Every structure is written in structure tokens, then in C-alpha cells.
């Protein structure tokens, strides 16, 4: 796996800019979401195959750790989605806009939009989490 090594040292040793971060984040968020999705499909299907287990699963999901993971998941899907649209748009409709200025800016805009979407959602989810799991805010 010497290539793996170059790749990892590459990521560590190369100071890429916005485009590189976008690529890395897109990949990491995509993999994160797909991992979650695989589990999620299986656990949801317990509703049909093993309703008893489903109750346990839901309880696990309600734990604080999973709660936080869920907040991260929401970010992943927001960023992956916005950035994915950015990539798809440029690739399919505006190849000429793959310029340094526009790429840097569009990446930052994508990140900005994801954060704008995520922060209120995360706040709300955190609020619910604290309310249910720690009895705060009169939960």
C-alpha cells in the first residue's frame, strides 16, 4: 500500500487551497453519510423484520453520543449537498467558470450556505438533546 502512503503524506504535506479542502471535505462527508445510511437502512427495516429490536435501536439513537453524531451528520449532508451542486453545476453547465477566483469564491460560498443551514438546525437539535437527555429547558 505504498500509494496509500503517498496519498496520506500528500494530504499532510501539501498545502492545498479551497478546491483541495472542498475535495477532502466532500469525500469525507460523502463517506460519512453513506456509512450512516447503510446502518440506517438496516435499522429502519427492523420495524418490519424485528420491531422489538427497533425500540432498542431508537433508544441508542437517543443517546447523547448519537445525538452529537446526528448533528455532525446533518452538517455532512448539508455541505456535501451544497458542494455537490456546485460541482455538478460547474462541470455540466459552466466549465469556463472553473477559474481560480470563481473556484475559491464558490467553495467559500458553498461552505457559508452549509453553515447557514446547519447552525440553526444544530441549535435546535442540541436544544432538543439537552431537553430530553438532561432535562434542561423544562424537558
Partner 1 sequence: MSATTTSQPERVRVRKNFDQVAWTWMRYSAVLLIPLAWFHLVLQDVVVGVHKITTDYAIERMANMGWKIYDILLLGFAFAHGMNGVRQVFRDYIHNPKTFRAVSILLLIFWAVITAVGAVALLSINPAAQ
Partner 2 sequence: MEIKLRVFRFNPEKDAKPHFDTFIMDVDPNDRVLDLLEYVKADFDSTLALRRSCAHGVCGSDAMRINGRNYLACKVLVKNLKSDTITVEPLLGLRVIKDLIVDMGPFFENFRSVLPYLINDDPLPADGRERLQSPEQRERFEDTTKCILCAACTTSCPSFWADERYVGPAAIVNAHRFIFDSRDTAAAKRLEILNQQIGVWRCRTAFNCTEACPRDIHITTAIAEVKKAINTGKLD
Name the DSSP letter for residue 63: S
What value does the CA radius of gyration of the chain take, rounded to a whole number of Å?
19
Contact, 82 vs 75, CB < 8 A? no
Determine the Cα–Cα distance for residues 8 and 40; give it in Å rounded to an integer.
Answer: 30
Residue 91 near partner 1 by CB under 8 A:
yes
Out of 11, 21, 124, 134, the residue judged to bind partner 1 by CB under 8 A = 124
Nine-digit cell string for 1: 500500500
Backbone angles phi, psi at 83, to 5 degrees: -65, -35
Out of 27, 62, 105, 131, the residue judged to bind ligand HEM by CB under 6 A = 27
Say how many CA atoms lie within 13 Å of 22 toward its Cβ: 21
Q: Select 16 or 123, whichever has its Cβ closest to partner 2.
A: 16
Say how many CA atoms lie within 13 Å of 100 toward its Cβ: 2
In the complex, the residues that contact partner 2 under the rule CB under 8 A are 3, 6-7, 9-11, 13-20, 22-24, 26-27, 87, 90-92, 95-100, 103
Residue 84 near ligand HEM by CB under 6 A:
yes
Determine the Cα–Cα distance for residues 70 and 62; give it in Å rounded to an integer.
Answer: 10
Pick one of partner 2, ligand HEM, partner 1, none as the site partner of residue 51 (Cβ within 5 to 8 A by kind): partner 1
Nine-digit cell string for 99: 477559474
Residue 84 near partner 1 by CB under 8 A:
yes
Q: Select 89 or 127, whichever has its Cβ closest to partner 2.
A: 89
Interaction site with partner 1 (CB under 8 A)? 1, 3-4, 7, 27, 30-31, 33-34, 37-38, 41-42, 44-49, 51, 54-55, 58, 61-62, 66-67, 70, 73-74, 77-78, 81, 84-85, 87-88, 91-92, 121, 124-125, 128, 132
Amino acid at each position: 500500500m505504498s500509494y496509500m502512503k503517498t496519498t496520506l503524506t500528500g494530504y499532510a504535506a501539501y498545502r492545498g487551497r479551497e478546491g483541495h479542502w472542498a475535495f477532502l471535505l466532500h469525500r469525507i462527508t460523502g463517506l460519512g453519510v453513506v456509512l450512516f445510511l447503510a446502518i440506517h437502512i438496516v435499522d429502519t427495516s427492523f420495524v418490519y423484520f424485528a420491531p422489538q429490536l427497533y425500540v432498542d435501536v431508537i433508544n441508542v439513537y437517543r443517546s447523547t453520543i448519537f445525538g452529537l453524531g446526528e448533528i455532525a451528520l446533518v452538517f455532512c449532508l448539508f455541505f456535501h449537498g451544497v458542494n455537490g451542486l456546485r460541482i455538478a453545476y460547474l462541470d455540466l453547465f459552466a466549465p469556463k467558470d472553473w477559474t481560480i477566483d470563481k473556484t475559491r469564491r464558490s467553495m467559500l460560498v458553498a461552505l457559508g450556505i452549509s453553515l447557514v443551514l446547519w447552525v440553526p438546525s444544530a441549535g435546535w437539535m442540541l436544544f432538543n438533546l439537552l431537553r430530553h437527555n438532561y432535562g434542561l429547558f423544562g424537558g
